[in-house]
Amino acid sequence: MKRKIKFSTTQTIMLAFLAAIAVGTVLLALPISSASGQAVPFMDALFTSTTSVCVTGLVTVPTVSTWSIFGQVVILILIQIGGLGVVTMMITMMLSLHRTIGIGGRMLIQDAFNLNSLSGIVRFVKNVLIGTAIVEGTGALLYMTVFVPKYGPKGIWISVFNAISAFCNAGLDILSENSLCDYVLNPVVNATTAMLIVLGGIGFVVWWDVLNSFRNPGKKKVKWFDRLTFHSKIALSTTLILILSGFILFFIFEFDNPDTIGNYTLPQKIMAALFQSITTRTAGFATIPQENLTNASSVASLLLMFIGGSPTGTAGGIKTVTFAVLLASGFSAIRGKEDTCLFQRTIQKSAVSKAVTVIMVSFMIMFTATLLLEAFTGSDFLDVLYETCSATATVGLSRNFTSTLTLPGKIIIILTMYLGRVGPVSLFIALNTNKGKPNIIKNPTEQISVG
């Protein structure tokens, strides 16, 4: 009898992303997807499909001039699938067909969004879809106030594309080949894009928690922030601190830089610096040419890109909560405390271990990609590191380097984007053959010197 192959939920999610990338590659490789009517080279089609599903935004060919309307529609669908997750789209199709979601499907959703319980899973997906439609629709309407007067009816399509791309933190646009640099001084485009980036990256769980804190005020003396869950408090506070810190750093480092914001007025400098801080949270849109940034700003961007957004959202990176847990653990060790605490709550040791693992594996992937890409290209180290960090954290910002990639370089970035999107830890879990086997024999303990 044939043995039936069973995949774990993690393996299923990873294979689903691969399937979406494969289908997208085939569609984008068709002549109908090309603006010129001639098929785009297969490697560029694969790269574009990967960057769309992985909501990264790095491109080897210009999105606005390379792809036809059909190709742009394919890319937008891939972005939406990648932003919400392949599993979410699969469950959405089942719900639209009035199919019952079994325990297997519920477990897939739980793993995809890193939820702690199976309770209310289907309702959670429905809320995600409704919330996404409302936010993306609002963003598209705001964009239309700028793009429709300029482009006419075409502005509607541009607005919809940009709204979905910004919410999914994809960073792809069909405006120009220099991203949003032409709109660096446009307050509507800046504010709308920033709003979509933050709402998409903050995490769906935080959405409902914030809404519930206002709907169910409870005790009147308790502030709304104190009514939030422990997770939401960490995600919101860390996000705010990182945005403000990045804004201050960029404002200072670029204040007199004539190639970026040096020639702007004070309000314009504030707007441009704030947008740069927000877009590094794995969004990938650029109103400032990244290659013109000072080295100090580039280093700050690397840190912000590596951290990324919050869990259960559309952003990538190691996530804000992971970063906060690692910092809290470090400060607890410095103070000589055994427990890691935040907001007067103790963080589980398993969460601390997972945070360390996520950061370690993500750094290993970025380091390996940087080493290989530098070996194959021999390019400026900062350009290469910026590219690999952007790919690992699925950001999409580049120092005008992606278009220069050779075949080996494209393969390296494709693999890095995929690992960054599915999660490096998920890869090790999927490949783990000892999962579930009890550790009966324990090795003896011995003291070592650390630090």
What are φ and ψ of residue 67, in 5° steps? -105, 145
Q: What is the pLDDT of residue 1?
A: 45
| Alpha helix ranges (H) inside 227-348 | 230-254, 266-279, 295-307, 320-334
Name, in order, each residue with C-beta under 8 angstroms of 284's C-beta and a sequence gap of 6 or more: 56, 57, 58, 169, 170, 171, 172, 179, 390, 395, 396, 397
Closest C-alpha among 82, 64, 57 to residue 396: 57
Question: DSSP secondary-structure letter at 265?
Answer: -
| Domain spans of the chain, in order of start | 9-428
- Tokens representing residue 417 in the block: 């984007």
Task: Tell me which residue of 26, 90, 85 sits closest to 53, measured CA to CA.
Answer: 85
Determine how many CB atoms are found less than 10 A away from the CB of residue 137. 13
pLDDT of residue 118: 57
SS3 101: coil
User: Which of 15-19, 67-71, 446-450 has the weakest average pLDDT?
Assistant: 446-450
C-alpha span between 103 and 85 (Å, rounded) = 18
Which of 273, 268, 314 is closest to 296 using CA atoms? 273
E strands, 273-411, where?
A: 340-342, 345-347
**Segment 339-352 mean pLDDT:** 87
Find the angle CA(109)-CA(113)-CA(118) to the nearest 5 degrees. 50
**Cα three-residue angle 226-232-233, rounded to 5 degrees:** 50
Given a contact cutoff of 8 angstroms between Cβ atoms, the answer to whether 260 and 292 are in contact is yes
For the segment 429-444, what is each residue's pLDDT rounded down to a tens digit?
555 555 555 555 667 7
Residue 17 — pLDDT band, cuts 50, 70, 90?
confident
**Confidence grade of residue 451 (pLDDT, cut at 50, 70, 90):** low
Identify the residue with better confidence: 414 or 87.
Answer: 414
Binned at pLDDT 50, 70 and 90, residue 228 comes out as confident
Are 272 and 290 within 8 A, CB to CB? no
The mean predicted confidence, pLDDT, of the chain is 86
DSSP 62-73: -HHHHB-HHHHH
Strand partners, 345: 342
Output the pLDDT for position 333.
86
Could you report the per-residue pLDDT of 142-189, keeping only the tens digit for each?
999 999 999 999 999 999 999 999 999 998 999 988 899 999 999 999
Percent of the chain with pLDDT over 70: 82
Helix (H) or strand (E) holding 352: helix 349-377
pTM above 0.85, yes or no: yes
Percent of the chain scoring above 90 in pLDDT: 57
pLDDT score for 165: 94
**Range with the poorest average pLDDT among 172-181, 220-229, 255-264, 405-414:** 220-229
Per DSSP, the three-state class of 296 is helix
Q: Output the pLDDT for position 218.
A: 59
